[in-house]
Amino acid sequence: MIDYRFAPNADVEKAIAADGLDFGLMSRLATRDEVHCQPVAEEPLLLVTPATVTAPSWPTLLQLGFIDHPDGAHHAGLLLGANYPEFQHSNLFEKKGFSNQINLILEPVSMGLGFTVLPAHAVAAFQKPQQVNGHRLSHPVSETLYLGVNRNRALPNRVHSVMAEARKWL
């Protein structure tokens, strides 16, 4: 049986360390000694605005406000830091919303309530693509995806098979 779920990086890492998962995918390196990570993919980050925004200037972003998510500050730091000299931290923006559900993060953006920064796969999976605009900025930033395992645990062959299949699709 395969049980999969989405969770913030810290929760995935904690579950791997506690032997609650055979392996996990994270968008940052592990901070716990018992978790070993290896890079398995790169994914571009996109600035996502309501569809009415075609050229996202700094004043436009300030006016819109930020729709946050568990990796929001991290993603904003990577992409906005590389593209807007004014950027220092996501706290510069008024927080207009928060969602910890990957499929709901873009709902408030689609309603014109703010902007966010997400990996391209999350933007592509949104059910109302005509209501948002995913911007590839002049200085592209990709996020590395890491496969993490507990370094102190031998994994059965069936888990290695599942990990190999996951790598094929990444």
The reply to whether 126 falls in a domain is yes
125 shares its domain with 165: no
Q: Which residues of 53-87 are buried (b: 16+ CB within 10 A; e: fewer)?
A: beebeeeebeebbbbbbbbbebbbbbbbeebbeeb
Tell whether 103 and 33 lie within a shared domain.
Answer: no
Query: Both 47 and 94 in a single domain?
Result: yes
Instruction: Report pLDDT for 70.
Output: 87
Note whether 28 and 60 are same-domain residues: no
- Domain membership of residue 33 as a residue range: 9-41+143-169
Give bridge partners of residue 147 from the DSSP assignment: 25, 38
> Could you tell me how far CA 154 lies from the centroid of its own chain?
29
CATH of the domain at 99: 3.40.190.10
Q: Are residues 151 and 89 in the same domain?
A: no
Same domain, 35 and 18: yes
3 state SS of 136: coil
CA atoms within 13 A on the CB side of 17: 12
According to the model, what pLDDT value does residue 7 have? 82
> What are the tokens at 154?
């031998």
Q: Spell out the per-residue pLDDT of the chain, length 170, in tens.
A: 788 888 888 899 999 999 999 999 998 899 999 999 999 999 999 999 999 999 999 999 999 999 999 889 999 999 999 999 999 999 999 999 999 888 899 999 999 999 999 999 999 999 999 999 999 999 999 999 999 999 999 999 999 999 999 999 88
- Give the number of domains in the chain: 2
Residues 30 and 50 in one domain: no
Q: What is residue 151's DSSP assignment? A: T
d(C-alpha 88, C-alpha 42), whole Å: 24
Question: Do 100 and 165 fall into the same domain?
Answer: no
- Same domain? 56 vs 29: no
pLDDT value of residue 66: 98
Q: Which residues neighbour 78 within 8 Å (Cβ) at sequence distance 6 or greater?
A: 45, 117, 141, 143
User: Domain check: are 91 and 47 in the same one?
Assistant: yes
pTM, two decimals, is 0.81
Q: What is the pLDDT of residue 51?
A: 98
pLDDT value, residue 96: 97
Residues 114 and 50 in one domain: yes
